A and B are shown apart, each in its own frame.
Chain A
């Protein structure tokens, strides 16, 4: 296990957290009701905080000696390694909630395993983040139930969101040479082992919400190699604007 491998793994987790945090923060001031506006802003803040912790750690491993701000805000699109689902535009509230459910229910299982990492930073990071994720999963699950078992319109929208996002969930469980090696070394999590439990939980929630589990077998991938959707460039343009226009700006 090399320091570069550790750096690359840390960047993957950091990018996932930052890009989701950025997307969620776009709801600030636009939530469907005040309580949800506040809820999503709070949740976004948790991810941006988790991303900060991860980028700080990555900075210590970086052979180029970049600090956390440079890592978060000045890399090029191809250097970001987040999964594609998290960079997709928010869509309507059903789509945002469904992405929250798919991702947070996975991420809670992931963190529960990461807690046993033999790396002190990751076990501590997981222990901390799990406490926040429990609330995120509950928030998303409640809304999936309310919309699924709600009106005809809400049912239709949340089912559509579930179907449209489904081809992106496979990437959450994707393993490659890097993660296999780090998982075998007890440093990282074997994502493939989480699929069954995740599907079981998802099926139970969908039953309760009167939703049908999507069946599409084909899944998108590419985010881990820096191949992004056409939406990523626009997201970065907004997120990086200040640091590009005023390099090193602080306030």
Chain B
């Protein structure tokens, strides 16, 4: 019988189609791996309800499991508990920053959001906090568009949910 550690390490080879620098395990998209006599059960969760990458992620996971000859697996999707940027590891946040995407701040609840208070977002290029939001919605649902006043660089901010 295969071990769940082995399955997790295989799944870490699947990159997020929209943020290829991260894999689906680091993103927190893979929620559970269950091994039983019936086979392997992988549970995933979408980042946003309308995330168009979910179908691709499911196909990519199936492909890599086939490649490693894992028989009898199922991939199911759950909505609860709802995905949060808090599940992203420190390592994943650093990878985002190096890619030029400001990582999400910790504490997803973002209580100030409805009051229009935005937290300081650090420029991923120069580290300045003299940044401003240009648009709440960026290239994908999970990102906002910002610009740095210190180095003038426009950048994506991975917003908290």
Contact = CB atoms under 8 A, between A and B. Distances in A.
Interface of A: 35-36, 38-39, 42-50, 52-53, 120-121, 123-125, 127-129, 131-132, 134-135, 137-139, 141-142
Given A53-B49, A132-B48, A135-B113, A42 B81 contact: no
B35 to A, nearest CB: 25
A44 to B, nearest CB: 8
Interface string B27-61: 00000000000000000001011111000000000
Contacts of B81: 124, 127
Contacts of B84: 131
Contact of B113 (A45, A48, A120, A134): A134
A129 B79 CA distance: 9
Given A39-B136, A134-B113, A47 B79 contact: no
A47 B116 contact: no
Nearest to B134: A35
Interface in B47-89: 48-52, 78-84
Nearest to A40: B137
Interface stretch (B9-17, B91-99, B120-128, B138-146): B138-146
B61 to A, nearest CB: 19
Contact of A132 (B78, B108, B114, B161): B161
Interface of B: 46, 48-52, 78-84, 108, 110, 113-114, 116, 134-141, 145, 159, 161
Contact of A49 (B46, B83, B116, B139): B46
B80 A35 contact: no
Given A49-B49, A138-B116, A35 B135 contact: yes
Contact of B50 (A48, A120, A134): A48
B80 A127 contact: yes
20 contacts: A35-B135, A35-B145, A38-B137, A39-B135, A45-B50, A49-B46, A49-B48, A52-B50, A121-B79, A123-B80, A124-B81, A128-B83, A131-B161, A134-B110, A135-B113, A135-B137, A138-B114, A139-B137, A142-B116, A142-B136
| Interface SS of A by simple majority | helix
Q: Which 6 A/B pairs are nearest by Cβ-Cβ distance?
A: A49-B50, A124-B80, A49-B49, A45-B50, A39-B137, A35-B135
A140 to B, nearest CB: 11
Contacts of B141: 42, 45-46, 132
A171 to B, nearest CB: 23
Contacts of B48: 45-46, 49, 132
A53 B79 contact: yes
B78 to A, nearest CB: 8
B145 A124 contact: no
Contacts of A123: 80
B114 A137 contact: yes
Nearest to B115: A138
A36 B83 CA distance: 26
Given A43-B137, A124-B80, 19 more contacts: A42-B141, A45-B50, A46-B50, A46-B141, A49-B48, A49-B49, A123-B80, A124-B79, A124-B82, A127-B80, A128-B82, A129-B49, A131-B108, A132-B49, A132-B161, A135-B136, A135-B159, A135-B161, A138-B136
B136 A45 contact: no
A46 B110 contact: no
Contacts of B50: 44-50, 52
Contacts of B116: 138, 141-142
